[in-house]
Structure 1
């Protein structure tokens, strides 16, 4: 990822609260879980749209060079788009 997107990813991830929460994105309610591991070096985020089976999940590795997004079976752009829509609501 490039520097501006690294900073954006970091800013979005820190807004998601630890544990389970719900958020509305595009009129749909999503259940979002954030789990921080490895002394804060890995953040896992998973989200499931509560009206169907749509899911988004990723790990974010916090490195000395900035965050590294590791999406799980979804495109990175889908994860970032979801975070852009969800984070401001927290």
Structure 2
């Protein structure tokens, strides 16, 4: 399961973006620190109250997921369902 989660997490764009998960719209920020050995994702539901926050550590012994004051399953389900909005290039 961790490999599926990591693949979904790594597919998300760095920086801030909007996207949908579980039928709701979110403003999401994904950041890398220390050469991507430490990563953070924060998402706020637009027009709602849901909030997602997690830290991900890429250690020699394997990845460690640390949700911020919420169940691990909530952040895993969110990342697996999250679909970033397409960014349109305008001339």
- Scaled to the shorter chain, the TM-score interval is 0.7 to 0.9
Of Structure 1 and Structure 2, the greater helix share is in 1
CA drift of 1:47 comes to 0.6
Q: TM (normalized to structure 2)?
A: 0.85
Which residue does the alignment assign to 1:35? 31
1:1-90 matches, within 5 Å, as 5-86=1-82, 89-90=83-84
Q: TM-score w.r.t. structure 1 length?
A: 0.86
Q: Which runs of 4+ in 1 moved over 6 A?
A: none
Measured in 1, the distance between the counterparts of 2:45 and 2:9 equals 18
RMSD (Å), alpha carbons = 1.2
- Give ranges in structure 1 of 5+ residues lacking alignment: none
Q: How many residues align?
A: 84
